[in-house]
Amino acid sequence: MKITAICMGIILLASTNVSAASKPVSYLEEVYGLGSVAGQGLACQVKRYDEYELLARAIMIGKAPDAIQQKEAIQQYNVGKAEAFMAMEDENFASCPEVAEEFARQKIFKSTLYSDGRIKLYDGTMITPRKSYNANRLYEKDPNAFARADAAYKKYVAQAEKDGKNAEKIQLHDANYDKYSGQF
């Protein structure tokens, strides 16, 4: 069951690129899917995690119809990321070999990010943000991201057990976005 939940993020992300004949995925659903894949990548410590984060954030910002929805999307991205990370941790990272293999084959890696924030997707679609920004500042590599997420998860679970509650979600705040939110 956990493996099914983990793979849903990858499936959801893939479904955003299905033909127009299928039901379109909303902006917030797409961002949640991007976050879920990021959470799986972080949990499995995949090699291209930082590159994925940079591209996913560019898509999120570029597709945001307005600042209000962008702020909500950042929350959805973080929820998807936290839930996927927690699911992987709950199963002791057992499906990481499969996730790492799927992660490496993401079409997002065939996208091109330009310094002004525009991103050309693998299918040729160009996404232009409402306001250009310095794409180099969108995401900074954090060598301690896994350790911090793991510690936050364990702290949350310990507090939930102490309080006699079931652990459901944790909030992982996006320090990089908070740091640069004024430029978008």
pLDDT score at 122? 93
pLDDT score at 168? 53
**Residues 139, 161: contact at Cβ < 8 Å?**
no
Which domain covers residue 81, as residue numbers?
A: 2-17+24-183
Predicted TM-score (pTM) of the model is: 0.76
- Across residues 41-69, what is the average pLDDT? 94
DSSP class of 165: -
How many domains, the chain?
A: 1
pLDDT score at 177? 47
- Percent of residues, the chain, with pLDDT higher than 70: 77
Order the strands of the 119-120 sheet from edge to edge: 112-113, 119-120, 126-127
Alpha-helix residue ranges (DSSP H) falling in the chain: 2-15, 27-44, 49-63, 67-90, 96-104, 145-163, 175-180
- Across residues 67-89, what is the average pLDDT? 92
What confidence tens digit (pLDDT) does each residue in 11-39 have? 444 444 444 446 788 999 999 999 999 99
Tell me the average pLDDT of the chain. Answer: 80
User: At what angle are helices 27-44 and 96-104 packed, to 10 degrees?
Assistant: 120
- Across residues 82-111, what is the average pLDDT? 92
